[in-house]
Amino acid sequence: MKFEFPKIIRELDLGGYDPVFQGRTLQVWVNPPKGLLDAHNANIQELRDVLRRASEAVLSKDLSDEQRLAQKEQTAAELERLGKAQIAFYAELWGQGSDPMTEEDVEELIRVSTDTDPVFFDWLKSETIGMIRAHRDGVKKG
């Protein structure tokens, strides 16, 4: 017998961030495959490495101005690539329910929240990962 696991979608109450959002929810895929989570974790580690290398380059007295510029351009390209991978990851997690978010929606959410309420997107990411961990740890709600 072939057993398939359905995608489990849970609602994240945005009122948990601030009462002004009470009644609004975001649908989160809480049982994504391990490979998707592993790729995300690798992306985060790569982001840390890129930022560390960039910091080291800024502080290095051994680099010429041309080398610093090249490092800056390389860092910008890597950050853009890694940012797009994060957007795709969250669009995948938030795009499975009855009101799916697209990569464009996530980009718009980042743009608007960065300008208006910079902590909001970080809160969404943290809550989303927390919901996945809770599901994987067997703490089920709803």
Q: What is the pLDDT of residues 27-44, one digit of tens each?
A: 999 999 999 999 999 999
Which tokens is 28 given? Answer: 């989160």
> How far apart (Å, rounded) are the C-alpha atoms in residues 80 and 117?
22
Q: What is the pLDDT of residue 5?
A: 85
Q: Structural domain of residue 48, as residue ranges?
A: 9-136
> How far apart (Å, rounded) are the C-alpha atoms in residues 13 and 124?
10
Neighbours of 115 (CB within 10 A): 8
In the block, residue with structure tokens 């910008």: 76
Q: Name the burial class of residue 25, with classes exposed (0-12), middle (13-18) and buried (19+) by CB atoms within 10 angstroms of its CB.
A: middle
The average pLDDT across 3-18 equals 94
Which tokens is 6 given? Answer: 């359905």
Q: What is the pLDDT of residues 38-87, one digit of tens each?
A: 999 999 999 999 999 888 887 778 888 888 888 889 999 999 999 999 99
Q: What is the pLDDT of residue 58?
A: 78
Residue 69 belongs to a domain: yes
pTM of the model: 0.88
- The domain total for the chain is 1
Residue 62 belongs to a domain: yes
Residue 1 belongs to a domain: no
Residue 100 has pLDDT above 80, yes or no: yes
